[in-house]
Amino acid sequence: MNQTALAAAGIYAAINSFILLWLATATGLVRRRHKVMIGDGGVDHLRRVMRGHANAIENVPAMLILLVIAAALGAPAVAIHALGAVFTLGRAIHAWHFIRETAPHWQRAVGFTLSAGTLAATALAVFGHAVVLL
């Protein structure tokens, strides 16, 4: 296995974990500010930050699994870095959009496009390489 590519995947696993912690902390702070411990309490900002956190939880694990599988299948470290960096940038922009009480729509659109685009590209690449090896 290419240890350099695996290490690159590890970098993006760590950075995306920090993004998840950032979202969890932001959710906790909004909860505390509005004294809502369970659910969203009808607070729009809390609903918003919770949705951003949930979206990250829905997308980050799949990408990290794909990056590790790509590394295991022999993807070069530069490919892991390119896919991981663009995905992570997208996740950071998307998180920033949802943490703020109000934010411009372009942040959500750009964050989604970068994240979904690299997730799809990585899934296709892993699928294609895996099928060839069968």
134 in a domain, yes or no?
no
In this predicted structure, the answer to whether residue 94 has a pLDDT above a threshold of 80 is yes
Does residue 7 form part of some domain?
A: yes
Q: In this model, does residue 103 exceed pLDDT 80?
A: yes
Distance from C-alpha of 105 to C-alpha of 121, rounded to nearest angstrom:
24
- Measured CA to CA, the distance from residue 6 to residue 95 in angstroms comes to 25
Examine residue 34 and state whether it is found in any structural domain, yes or no.
yes
DSSP run (H or E) holding 130: helix 105-133
DSSP of 69-118: HHHHTT--HHHHHHHHHHHHHHHHHHHHHHHSSS--HHHHHHHHHHHHHH
Place of tokens 């809390």: 46
Residue 52 lies in a domain: yes
The pTM for the full model equals: 0.94
Return the pLDDT at 2.
78
CA distance 105 to 123: 27
Full domain range(s) for residue 68: 3-129
Q: Is residue 86, in this structure, part of any structural domain at all?
A: yes
Average pLDDT along the chain: 96
Domain with residue 90: its CATH number is 1.20.120.550
Residue pointed to by tokens 């996740």: 91
Asked if residue 55 has pLDDT above 90, the reply is yes
Q: List pLDDT tens digits, range 68-91.
A: 999 999 999 999 999 999 999 999
For residue 47, tell me if it sits in a domain. Answer: yes
Percent of the chain with pLDDT over 90: 97
For residue 45, give both structure tokens.
């900002």
The Cα 118–Cα 79 span in angstroms is 11
Structural domain count, the chain = 1
pLDDT digits (tens, 9 = 90+) for 12-38: 999 999 999 999 999 999 999 999 999
User: In the numeric block, which tokens belong to residue 66?
Assistant: 């794909």
pLDDT value at residue 92: 98
If we measure between CA atoms, which residue out of 131, 123, 134, 5 comes closest to residue 68? 5
User: 113 lies in a domain?
Assistant: yes
